[in-house]
Structure 1
């Protein structure tokens, strides 16, 4: 094959990283040619499975009549827990999560049996025909109920620093209250699915939509009572994951595998959307009780926080989620004396699990809520109070868990956003607007983000990769990360291409496969590109060094002086096309493939004291949001959003900006429209798109400005970049607090609106009514308050009538 040598060697320095490139599967996505698990061609004889689900939140199973199920058209087999060859468990940490319920059900939607039929439809229809006799038991449904009953899936945790009691005794001011922040459905476009295909000698191939192939391999092996080497799990791509396919894809993989081994035929288990939402866990909702001491300027001097999570019926990943919430309560602020507690409430609901942010957003929103209240109590702009409490550069720079913040750029980043967003001018304009608008009220907020990057559990911060260079010069990469639309394959391909001096067209990624790279961690905690990029770089570097040594031997000079750039290898004044050098190296028996490995250095964590160095670095960001709220209907609109995010030395600015935009809208949905509601019997009623409201295009602001902050990671991350998976989800805190700001204007910012999340229209109206009632109460009892309000509201039409109605 002829490989012409391009003659552009005088061009600026060539690079494959740090430049905007399209997603490696973008064309396939657009053309509908990207293969997801359900698109894989079915093997002859494939059967389809469905799960029989509990209709009770908490009950003993007295009897199960499966005869009507077996009698349904197309049914081949029905399996219960007694038919599981190995261990009936799919819990990721604690073994308290049965694949199929035995004797007792713990939530509405818990799987009890597996139906295997000739078609997907026949399996689903049959699964609803079982006659189950229950003895109902008391059910706990909310975190408040769990706390009152001391019902927990794990022992409560506590982080204490300093002398909190003394700080409160000295402080001139204390703010105290409660807050509830709801959970969130992952709502991935592709639902849970697994396709299990028996292989020879007790082997099994499981094609599964999962963020954690290695864990799926372990769960399936344990369920079948075989060694891990008997099971291969493969995932080419997912249609979204957001944490919902980190641990909870295990149930589906295990159920499909059990049915496949029992029938001896391939079995596909694809969850219907309603079943998916009924069975799987969501983002943990949190109930907070807070008490925070502060001085006359608004500087926090002591904080007490008690968080209770709705863990659901089993532990799943609730422990690590709670830990990350504790470690992110500080967000961007120095807290000298703290007492932070978290408890994972055991409830008779779905077992909640990982979700983008993994407890970080739930921890950080509490301190933002408190600062918002402090600012209102002092009559100050919340941005000024936030800035006053920011971490310092060399002082006030130790977190409550004892990690020193060495990469702090929150001050510079916030200042840049304040200026570029015209924050102060817009604040003044909004005040003028609200003074003459009795019904429509505008609000504005700027909120910061500091988010730690790494797994809470130190040993998970490792990754492996394989890089193969073929004789024609093409390159195949396999790594332990999974592609869920976030662009990890694109970034890893860029890293490998850059290391070998190749253009992207010559490098390809294959499906994640447990038989290629073993013992991988989940693609989660925003570490996917960091870990797998480093591992792939290590593998490619070894190949490049071998080729450099060969080129130096063939052409003279030193191996260290050989340059790989733009598909050309430059060695001692000779220019040779990369494929040609590869062909020569092959004939000389040079190894042209290599494995790579990476373990994040410097991490340690003591779970008993909740201290250590759990994060490799921090990602920073800030956002400004402006909203308008209709105080008569509770409707609202995001008018403009400005976001500035620290992606370090971005590997791919186009993908990173897309991640920030997507995270912003997803986080906005969590805090405003995505309400999960269980009825009194414990059934999730918001289990379909018809009843669960994710943001649509009409919810996006017409004016949406997203930029990347000019920075470079101080840590030796992959090309000094920073993660963009989870941290940007905290940016839409600004939307929530802009809504609260608009509601607050109803009482001239003299009353703290009791706004919970999600801030649905009903919740907004409840908060507006509460503000009006509090204003009316104070006007009747506090002459100074009455005089202040009357002077400010004199120009507002019908204000007295509104206050009178509230009275």
Structure 2
């Protein structure tokens, strides 16, 4: 059956229902401390603990390594270098340019040089600092400007275009040039990077890894050790957060643990210290944005020449796809008639940037929202009026990459929130407040979100599942999705429970394992519930079809007379519990186990031309944020936030609302407090909770209202639901837009946007206020 037909069948079999807010399947374990993470597993006798010796240079040749003091240090069992790796010295996801241990040269500060295995974690960490490395320094590109001057790129500059933007700019009634910078972001997951490797018989290795991509870890470890994938089993029961930081980055630590286990025959654990974790693992990509925009007197965009430049770090990692997604989302909800989007991907001697919630989408989306704010400031108009005027509409519904926006609910959602949040009245009240308040300035903004759902690398849009029904009626569910706190396990369990008409308590979710469901894609791109939910549905329906045939034969009724309900299973006039049916079926020699598979239909993308349909559908959202800025200190408060978010027909409203709130606050942190600072020599200075500020409870808006849009997915996804992991992150752009308006109120006579970069730290806000006032000819500096 074609995948679209399978999806349609799922839609028919599972009518849209109001789903209860089932708690997270591990909630009771989380709150009691009984949930077991990798570091909670019992340590067997002989466990070795690991640490990396790290580079003190950003770019240099390795002339010599004297590790004698490391080997002689107390508790050290073994020390390994690249020469000790039996297979490929590679933990890169795509480009084979991320060695486990450096060979010949180092490309970033903190890069792994050698690996220490000791009897305790502290002993390993102390010994790792004793290596004596002789370097021959090489020119290092730490900043984007240095990389650009050296023509240092990870791949050729990419362009996406429609029409002739440069010609359209020449004829536009109004033209405006501008630019700004946005910083990166550390994932700051609660559970750091960790892997536990146990040697098996005949060279096999079992890994417990905190990873979003078990199959990739399996593949890389197999190549590292010169094994087949069948020799390596990777298991993930849960992660204490990930946010993209464990999609590729976990392979470094898993590879190290596997190498030691294979070499020594002893179990090995690598639990990274928080400082080392922050230094050695990738971040969200920072971006520099430059633009020239043409528009008419009403603020309708006529032409856009947009330049996106991103320092990608020392290796390729996932940067091509991340920067592609920034280009995909540079339109957000707006039709751009003549547009040229240029994307520069710079190679720098810093730790490679990597996947982070939104995967480049937030950066592209922030760019177009900033452009609309800039145009509104120059025209003296409310930015919301310009946003509404530029929305996709019939006849204006094709993206710059050639995909039709068929499900455009943004106009309806914006209108709803504009009224429900009382935007217009509040905006007038804020203007009146600012006119009489010399120090505190307020701002309000409404921004929408249109986020494409699917991996833009087409072959990744697939998933598998394995379901066992036991003779007592209990059900075990396994699939390729990994649980990082986002609730994918409970959502998939609900899908299976609905198929069989049983209570959720009948379902047991088991750890994601590569020996149960093979060749899985990462739990990423907001696709975990979409893909794995449908795969589990297909597996469950296979078993249910067997049971329907069995019951029809047993009770002499048609298969259409068999129904699975919460009150029991009906077969004609017969009624029984699901447990009784399972026992009957087992005695009747009916298979009660099945795999399931799903591949997203109707998506294809030509990357060379940057044209196609990379997304199955779009998820939408709207947020209104009100802020207050102290113009003397640069400090700000987010006073109130109203969110309306589109999750289709929600599989689990409680889980979805939690994701929306968490995503919003994390996005707020990216744009306001989370500042990455690098020393000129390439060292990360913000490498601990003492120097890097994530949002805390006090940063949460005083009033945060979250409402789910009452709608369904136009595409036949599982239960007509929509993805929820990444899209809410970009709702926080309204905070940054509101801050711009508050800063602009410090010199209201200037019809221009303040030069505020992200994150809008107190220092950045004060700098923007001073520049804005200088533009007004004021005396403040």
TM-score between the two structures when normalised by the length of structure 2: 0.97
Distance 1:177 1:14, change over 3 A: closer
The CA distance in 2 between the partners of 1:556 and 1:251, in whole Å, is 59
Per-residue CA distance 1:600-659 (angstroms, 9 max, x = gap): 000100010000000000000010000000001000000000110000000000000000
Per the alignment, residue 793 of structure 1 pairs with none
Q: Name the stretch that deviates more: 136-145 or 439-448.
A: 136-145
Tell me how far 1:567 sits from its aligned partner: 5.3
State the 4+ residue runs in structure 1 displaced beyond 3 angstroms: 13-17
Tell me how far 1:14 sits from its aligned partner: 11
Matched, 1:120 2:121: yes
The CA distance in 2 between the partners of 1:243 and 1:620, in whole Å, is 21
* Conservation of the 8 A alpha-carbon contact between 1:543 and 1:592: yes
The CA distance in 1 between the partners of 2:251 and 2:295, in whole Å, is 46
Tell me how far 1:583 sits from its aligned partner: 0.5
SS in structure 1 opposite 2:745? helix
Per the alignment, residue 280 of structure 2 pairs with 279
Per the alignment, residue 446 of structure 2 pairs with 446
The CA distance in 1 between the partners of 2:706 and 2:150, in whole Å, is 45
* Conservation of the 8 A alpha-carbon contact between 2:773 and 2:779: no
SS in structure 2 opposite 1:287? strand
Per the alignment, residue 196 of structure 1 pairs with 197
Tell me how far 1:163 sits from its aligned partner: 1.5
Per the alignment, residue 531 of structure 2 pairs with 531
Per the alignment, residue 369 of structure 1 pairs with 370
Per the alignment, residue 669 of structure 2 pairs with 669
Per the alignment, residue 647 of structure 2 pairs with 647
Per-residue CA distance 1:137-174 (angstroms, 9 max, x = gap): 22111223222322111121111111112211210111
Matched, 1:476 2:485: no
Per the alignment, residue 3 of structure 1 pairs with none
Tell me how far 1:292 sits from its aligned partner: 1.1
- What are structure 1's unaligned runs of at least 5 residues? 1-12, 777-802
The CA distance in 2 between the partners of 1:488 and 1:338, in whole Å, is 38
Per-residue CA distance 1:677-723 (angstroms, 9 max, x = gap): 00111100000000000000000012110110111000011100000
* Conservation of the 8 A alpha-carbon contact between 1:410 and 1:620: yes
SS in structure 1 opposite 2:746? helix
The CA distance in 2 between the partners of 1:25 and 1:533, in whole Å, is 18
Tell me how far 1:549 sits from its aligned partner: 1.2
* Conservation of the 8 A alpha-carbon contact between 1:236 and 1:510: yes
Per the alignment, residue 700 of structure 1 pairs with 700
Per the alignment, residue 466 of structure 1 pairs with 466
* Conservation of the 8 A alpha-carbon contact between 2:86 and 2:225: yes
Tell me how far 1:297 sits from its aligned partner: 1.0
SS in structure 1 opposite 2:412? helix
Per the alignment, residue 758 of structure 2 pairs with 757
SS in structure 2 opposite 1:734? helix
Per the alignment, residue 3 of structure 2 pairs with none
SS in structure 2 opposite 1:100? coil
The CA distance in 2 between the partners of 1:718 and 1:84, in whole Å, is 44
The CA distance in 2 between the partners of 1:121 and 1:568, in whole Å, is 57
Tell me how far 1:44 sits from its aligned partner: 2.2
The CA distance in 1 between the partners of 2:770 and 2:165, in whole Å, is 35
- What are structure 2's unaligned runs of at least 5 residues? 1-13
Tell me how far 1:772 sits from its aligned partner: 0.5
Matched, 1:164 2:165: yes
SS in structure 2 opposite 1:471? coil
* Conservation of the 8 A alpha-carbon contact between 2:16 and 2:649: no
Tell me how far 1:561 sits from its aligned partner: 2.6
Tell me how far 1:133 sits from its aligned partner: 1.1
Per-residue CA distance 1:288-310 (angstroms, 9 max, x = gap): 11111111111111111111111
Per-residue CA distance 1:26-53 (angstroms, 9 max, x = gap): 0000000001011111222111111110
The CA distance in 2 between the partners of 1:467 and 1:111, in whole Å, is 41
Tell me how far 1:553 sits from its aligned partner: 1.5
The CA distance in 1 between the partners of 2:324 and 2:299, in whole Å, is 28
Q: What pairs up with 1:393-404 in 2 under 5 angstroms?
A: 394-404=394-404
Per-residue CA distance 1:242-278 (angstroms, 9 max, x = gap): 0000011011111111111111111001100000000
Q: What pairs up with 1:578-589 in 2 under 5 angstroms?
A: 578-589=578-589
Per the alignment, residue 35 of structure 1 pairs with 36
Q: Name the stretch that deviates more: 93-102 or 553-562.
A: 553-562
Distance 1:17 1:130, change over 3 A: farther
* Conservation of the 8 A alpha-carbon contact between 1:313 and 1:349: yes
User: What value does the CA root-mean-square deviation take over the aligned residues?
Assistant: 1.1
Distance 1:385 1:15, change over 3 A: closer
Per the alignment, residue 548 of structure 2 pairs with 548
The CA distance in 2 between the partners of 1:433 and 1:57, in whole Å, is 50
The CA distance in 1 between the partners of 2:230 and 2:253, in whole Å, is 20
The CA distance in 2 between the partners of 1:513 and 1:148, in whole Å, is 46
Per the alignment, residue 600 of structure 2 pairs with 600
SS in structure 2 opposite 1:52? strand
The CA distance in 2 between the partners of 1:107 and 1:50, in whole Å, is 18
Per-residue CA distance 1:200-248 (angstroms, 9 max, x = gap): 0111001100000000000000000111100000000000010000011
Per the alignment, residue 268 of structure 2 pairs with 267
Matched, 1:804 2:775: no
* Conservation of the 8 A alpha-carbon contact between 2:16 and 2:720: no
* Conservation of the 8 A alpha-carbon contact between 1:17 and 1:498: no
Q: How many residues align?
A: 767
Per the alignment, residue 20 of structure 1 pairs with 21
Per the alignment, residue 722 of structure 1 pairs with 722
SS in structure 2 opposite 1:463? strand
The CA distance in 2 between the partners of 1:16 and 1:134, in whole Å, is 64
* Conservation of the 8 A alpha-carbon contact between 1:167 and 1:301: yes
Tell me how far 1:499 sits from its aligned partner: 0.7
